[in-house]
Amino acid sequence: MLQLTTARLHGTFNVVNGLWPLIHMRSFEAVFGPKKDKWLVRTVAGLLVANGLVQLAARDTPHSLEQARNVGLGTATTLAAIDVAYAPRGRISKMYLLDAVAEVAWILSWLLAKRRGS
């Protein structure tokens, strides 16, 4: 049950964060800084929505939970790596370091849920 709950929570997080710049780019830029390539922001946002929907569709079966976990870990690891690689250098806003913390928390949540085997 813990893995299914993690899938639902992480899926919701990804959908909400993906929809944000698609719905209101101005407020997204107010928090994370101006974006030169808005097409790229929208592309990543769309992928986050898609990944989140996969997680939200998870069922309480081993195969479905494995898929949700793999999508979740892949998404969180990729975003955290980009955040940590580029925010300290000033290539992206330092606000992305807060996102890195959230992504690491998702990674740890998935690992804990898997370890508990539920």
pLDDT for position 118: 55
pLDDT for position 34: 96
Residues of the chain with pLDDT under 70: 118
Q: Closest Cα partner for 41 from 84, 93, 90, 116?
A: 93
Q: What is the pTM of this model?
A: 0.93
Tell me the domain boundaries of the chain.
2-116
| 26: amino acid identity, one letter | R
Ramachandran class of 27: left when φ > 0, alpha when ψ lies in -120 to 50, beta otherwise: alpha
Q: What is d(CA 118, CA 97) in angstroms, rounded to the nearest whole number?
A: 30
pLDDT for position 117: 73
pLDDT for position 58: 98
Q: What Å distances lie between residue 32 and 48, 90, 96, 99, CA to CA?
A: 16, 12, 7, 10
